[in-house]
Chains A and B, each alone.
Chain A
Amino acid sequence: MKRKTEVSELIFRIVAYFFLIVFAAMCIYPLVFALSSMFSSWDAVRNNEVILWPTGKLQLDSFKFVFNSANFWVSYSNTLFVTFIGTVWCLIYSILGAYALSKKRLMGRHGFNFFLVFTMWFSAGVVPQFLNYKATGSVMATLFAGSTNMADIDLKWLIVLAMGMNATNIILLRNSFEGVPSEIEEAARIDGATELQILTKVYIPMSKATIATVALFFGISRWNGYFWAYRVTSAAGQNYSWPVQVYMRDFIQKETGLTGSYDIDTSDLANVGQGTSIAYAMVIFAMVPILVIYPFIQKYFAKGVNMGGVKE
Chain B
Amino acid sequence: MFKLKCDDFLIYDEATGTYSMSAEQQVRDETERNRWKTTGFTILKDWRLYLMLVPMMLVYLLWKYLPMYELTAAFKYGPQDYSSDRPWAGIYNFQTVFLGSEALSFWPAFRNTFIIAFYGLLFGFPTPIILALFFNEVKSNVARSVMQVCVYLPKFISTVIVTSLTLALFSGTTGGGKIGVISQLLDKISTSSVLHSKLNQGLVYTAEYFRPIYIITDIWEHAGYDSIVFFAAVIAVSPTSYEAAQIDGAGKMAQMRYVVIPSILSTVIIMLIMKIGGLLSVGYEKLYLLCPGPNKENYAVANVVSTWANNLTQNSTQGYGIAGEMTNNLIGMILVIGSNTIARKASDVSLY
Contacts and interface: CB of A to CB of B under 8 A. Distances in A.
Contacts of A46: 174-175, 177
A279 B164 contact: yes
Contact of B63 (A19, A115, A136): A136
Contacts of A226: 158-160, 285, 289
Interface in B222-265: 223-224, 228-229, 232, 246, 249-253
24 contacts: A12-B253, A16-B133, A17-B134, A19-B134, A20-B138, A23-B131, A24-B146, A46-B174, A46-B177, A47-B176, A105-B42, A115-B60, A116-B60, A119-B60, A123-B64, A123-B281, A127-B322, A131-B73, A135-B66, A165-B64, A226-B285, A272-B174, A276-B174, A290-B156
Given A97-B52, A305-B228, A117 B352 contact: yes
B interface: dominant SS: helix
Interface stretch (B21-29, B109-117, B207-215, B304-312): B304-312
Contact of A112 (B57, B159, B177, B251): B57
Interface string A96-127: 11011101011100001001110111111111
A196 interface: yes
Contacts of A301: 228
Given A24-B151, A96-B55, A220-B156, A135 B292 contact: no
B135 interface: yes
B106 to A, nearest CB: 13
Interface residues of B, number: 110
Contacts of B160: 224, 226, 245, 248-249, 252
Given A5-B246, A258-B164, A269 B175 contact: yes
A146 interface: no
B333 interface: yes
B63 A266 contact: no
Interface of B: 39, 42-43, 46, 48-50, 52-53, 55-57, 59-60, 62-71, 73, 80-82, 130-131, 133-135, 137-138, 146-154, 156-161, 164-165, 167-169, 171, 173-181, 184, 202, 205, 220, 223-224, 228-229, 232, 246, 249-253, 267, 270, 281, 284-285, 288-289, 292, 296, 306, 309-310, 312, 318, 321-322, 325-326, 328-330, 332-333, 336-337, 348-352
A48 B179 contact: yes
Interface residues on A, range: 35 or more
Interface string A132-167: 110110000000000000000000000001110100
A306 B229 contact: yes
B61 to A, nearest CB: 9
Nearest to A248: B160
